[in-house]
Structure 1
Amino acid sequence: MIDPEETLEQQVARQSKIIDALIRRANREHGVGGSVYSLFQSAIALQGEVWEKTRDLEQALDTLGRASNKLKIAEYAWQQTEQNLAEALEAMEGGFALFSESELEVFNDQFKTLVPDLEEEITNGLELDTYFELLQSSASVVSVAKTGRKTDTTGDNRSFSLDRPSVLELRGDRWFQITRKSASANRTVLLSTEITRIVRQNRLEKNRLIDEQSFFLQAAFDHMTQGVCTFSEEGTLLITNERFRELLNLPLFLVQKGTAIRQILEFARKQRLLVGLETGDDFDEILHELRSRGSIDTMVRHVNGNILNIRVHGLPDKGYIMNVLDITAETHSKETLEQMVQERTRELTAVNERLRRQNEEQAIIDEQLRQAKAEAEEAVSSKTKFFAAASHDLLQPINAAKLLISTLGEGTQDTPFEDTVSRLGRSFDSIESLLHALLDISRLDSVGSELSISSFCIGDLLSSVRDDYARLAREKGIDLSIVPCRQWVQSDRRYLLRSLQNLVVNAIQYTETGRILAGCRRKHGLLVLEVIDTGIGISPEDQTRIFSEFTRVSEKSSDYGMGLGLSIVERACRRLGHPLSVSSTVGKGSRFSITLPFGQVPDELPVGLAEEQDTHAEAMDLIVLIIEDNEDVLFATAQKVESWGGSVLTASSTAQAVEQVREIGMAPDIILADYQLTGSDNGVEAIKAIRRQTSSRVPAIIITASPPGELEEASRKQAFTVLSKPVKLSSLRSLMDWKTHQPKIVCFGT
């Protein structure tokens, strides 16, 4: 009965009518009954309904009042927002316009007054395309340019870009940038920003740069040795230098900016300044020739006698540049230059001929040098091969003599011959030392000799040196102290041992009293092997020459050798890459140091001899098979082994050795075999044959004069030990005991 869409007043009026109608109806119904109580009862019921309707009406009025308040608040907020937006638009520095459905809806005064003659046309409802058309036809608009492409300021380019800003030039040198933005699918925003100050500033900066470039260009022109002049497309002078006026001998008024080239040509024609240039030709014809050919290059003679080279080239702006160069000196000296060239050519030909002959002579000399070098290398190689081949024959008698002297020494103890035998032994020791020195120098000087680099415990070398030279030190009354070391190093074991031996022997040689100390210490991640003595010392001037061959610091000790020991040490350390140093004080002693890299300690340490056995140990109870093709060495070795208590079987070849073993019907306890036997026979084959015959891995020692590296692989595969000749008896006895008893004594690395 009540329409919610009606206004509040209409709803209240309608409810009042409904209430009145209900009251009249109730009165009619209760009047018919005529009962007062019925009327009262009907009035009470009607009053309850009226109260209920009144309550609903009050609630509706309250709801309507709250809605009305909210509507007023929203309307006020809208008005405030609209006012703020209007104020913000007016406060903007540029123009703003909002087009909805391509019709102008909102804009500010700056947008309206942007183009003065369009101010009356800027109204709500203006079409966007119509606005652009008005801009393009406006008399106040000079030009429209799209950013990102060349601006055409002639007024012809008036199209607006839809995807990038356009620059609008107005009369009075005013500039605006118009930017088009899409606010939504059907709303477009136009922003106009005045950029007059930026454009004017850029123009000033551009003019400044042009002026600077003109200044630099003029300065460059003024310092050029040739005359330069540039002309515009119309033929007026733009830039020139003083050299241009001097070469052409022109008056000052003709080299001012703006002077026409016609005037210059006319002046030259009248004054007859140039001979060879058709100055009477029309300028247009000259210009046509220049444009068709691209350049003009001619040589003329000036009235003052100078010869000028004139070149005219076109420029990108359709102007042209003229270069004038004085070539008088070059022209006058042309004939002279030609003569000089001919003379120089003849000289060069003669020099080339001399060089050719010298090259031929040099080629002959080079060939002779090559042959001499080849002969020298062949001589060195032959020397090395000779020493290698002769080493066995040279060491054989020394080895036999030392064995015999050792046996003889045991038999002459406490007899008048004891001192003689001792001196004889020392003499052979000197022979052995000298022979080893010569062999070492030969191997170190040989280019083809190879080093055998491996990791080993340096304690073995220190122990060997202690046992070999302790007796010699005791005889001189010197205390030789060897500090044990369990470090592993990486080097050539043989050459490092020889170097250490030579340093110790050198210390014993030049120390009269006191002590010699040999040991190792860590330094900067390396191991330094040092030999320190309290000897006579070495002067600073002698510390560099002591490593040369046949050099001795003092002649008092000449009985100890030929001065080759330190030379061998220096050569070996140089080949091995081990730094060698010496420090010494005269009268106090010397310190020699060899710096070594640490070696890799194997997971399973090999069993070695930490301490050699005493040569006077108890008698050995062994069957020893000695294989040696030299009768003297065989006899001396057998006699020495028998003096130790061993039972000896002797053979000169593999066949005899196998026959000896077959006769006794059992395997020997150990084999001592020379490596080089008669013919192609050798000790390695003999060891293999004995082991096959006895079906057992008999312990074996190869005694050889060859470099130990040659047998390294074979010794590892066949499990035999290599001893170098001459054999040290203490080493031989200790090694035989160890090979037969296999004591588990190892040298640990730390």
Structure 2
Amino acid sequence: MTHPLINPADPPDRQRQKLLQIVDVLMRRVEQETDDGGRAYQQFQRAVLLEDEVRERTRELERALDLLNATNARLAEATAEAEAARQNLASAIETVQEGFALFDAEDRLVMCNSRFGMHMSDLRDHLVPGLTFARFVELASRSAFLELPPGESAESWAVGRMRRHADRHVMFNVQTVGDRWLQVSEHRTQDGGTVILQTDVTDIIRLERQERGKLLDDQARMIRATLEHISQGVGIFDAQARLVGWNGRLGALLAVPAGRFRIGVSFDTLSEALGAQFSLNDGMTLERIAAWVHGSRPRSALTFELRGGAEIVLAVLAEEMPDGGFVMSFSDITAERRALRDIAEANETLERRVVGRTAELAEALGRAEQANAARARFVAAASHDLLQPLSAAKLFLASLTDVGLSPEAQATLAKAENALLSVEGILDALLDISKLESGRASVDVGPVPVGQILARLADEFAPLAAAKGLRLTVRPSNATVTSDPTYLRRILQNLIGNAIRYTERGRVLVGARPSGGGLRIEVADTGPGIPEAEQANVFREFHRLNARASASEGMGLGLAIVERAATLLGHPLTLRSAPGRGTRFTLTLPRAVADYPVGSPLPDIPDDGALNPDGRIVCLVENDPDMRRALCHLLEKWRLEVIDLETGEEALSLLDEIGILPDRFLIDHDLGDGIDGLALLSQLRDRYGPVSARLLTAVRSQALEAVCAAAGVTILRKPVDAAALAAFVLGAD
């Protein structure tokens, strides 16, 4: 076994010295002898390489020593800092006014200050690091300074204390000798340890006692004053049936000598005095009352009456108190009994008067029913009379669409048409809302072009939004849904109006988007939002979330009407909102196919009269002169030949006379005193066979719709829509 010339364990200086010696020897040998194979030179080369390697190893060892020295220095600094931090922590908890203790995750004491356990001086010697929490509780439970609650042993107290220790946060009071109190607050740390704080709350508890005593004294005075001011006589008895309190009214009612009323007198003594002056009502005896007073608890309330002489009647109510005592109240009901007698005597007189009055009421009821029927007829007539001129105005405006008006006049005309449409919707809503509230609402469900309704609402609300500095965006839509146009417009009108009313800055967005097989119409705003607790209340009548809204801006009925109308139509309505993030209402409707294209304009009227090459004739039967003139004006503008008549009788007579059957019939349903529109259509069919006709009416009635459906008659509602009218009179058979 060969030994290395250089021992790696030697210090760098020793290794360097050996290398220098080796080099010196080799050099001498090279100088003294010649080696033919060059071995001496090779050894020299190896010595040089070995010296370089030793030099590199020396540098590495020096760097390692420097790193080790730096690490040792930092470790010493960290140890000093940790010790300083521990000293600071110990000093800090020592300055805390409360007792402080820290237990680790294994429930062993880590450290505590001198105030911890100061009210139990017999624990001080045991409070050393490593003490278990269970041992600490055991020592505390057996401390001579601990005042255990009545009926509790040291063992049960320790069990309860350990049960509380299982909670993450605990706070309770502990009483020690000398009427001193500690508030113990225990909290779990993130690493599973426990921090305990002990606060002396003796002064606070004593002050609370004083305040409670004062409060009880004040309450006693208030109760006493209250008893003296009530009209009933009140007697308070303890669990042994001894008198402990009463008011002056009791003595006045019972006429018992003042000497009988004193603290501690038994109820039996007072009962004897009562039996001498009063009689009891039927079925009640003094023995039964005594049995209730001295009977087992709990006792149900006891009521009876005392009668003194021929006039005085006292109602007595006895009720048990939580402490086993009872209270008796005595009320003077003499006046009530006297009134009952007077009422009984008056009953006979009243019965005779009721017979006569019943006859009068029957007559009045008949008059009221007649008045109610008249009111119903008036409402129906008023609705018809209001919609007639409105329909005429719409038709007159429709006839002006192609008379060469300037763009500004055309725009104004369009705004006027939209305004009339809004008035129409409002009138319809006013007539239907009462039915909606009473549950008698009728709906006219059919294809509804969403784009038309949204465009009208955009024109209606654009000025209001601009006045508030809001950006109102109503996205167009070519969708058609199945709904009632009146109620759908009313729903969207209320939602958009509410959004503008309660939004102070930002924008209001209205748009429709497909959703499965239906259509979702959303009204979103950047307003203050609705708290979650208020989101159900906003649909209640007369409930306004923003109290700053004035009565002129609404009475809080809008969303109530929206919810009921949506429920009536079966359109789901949802609300999403958060304070400060705006509100979004979503109404989901079923899709439908439109009867005519959404937003389709009226047919263009050529100047050469080619619109009516076959000389189509329209027979118009309308008893309202303004409506008749408006319809004639529009039909003649479309190059149609019009026969306008006022009554059904005139129509039948004229058709028999001229012997020509018109191509289209427009017949008002309410034609005055003569035959109505349905009867006229029936006679026309009997004479001439099937005719192309529309029944004009402003009446929204399920009964009328059912009759028309059974007779195969199509209704064209007033106010008459010009596009629908054109589709009928100008369309193919």
TM normalised by structure 2 equals: 0.42
- Higher-Rg structure is 1
TM-score, length basis structure 1: 0.42
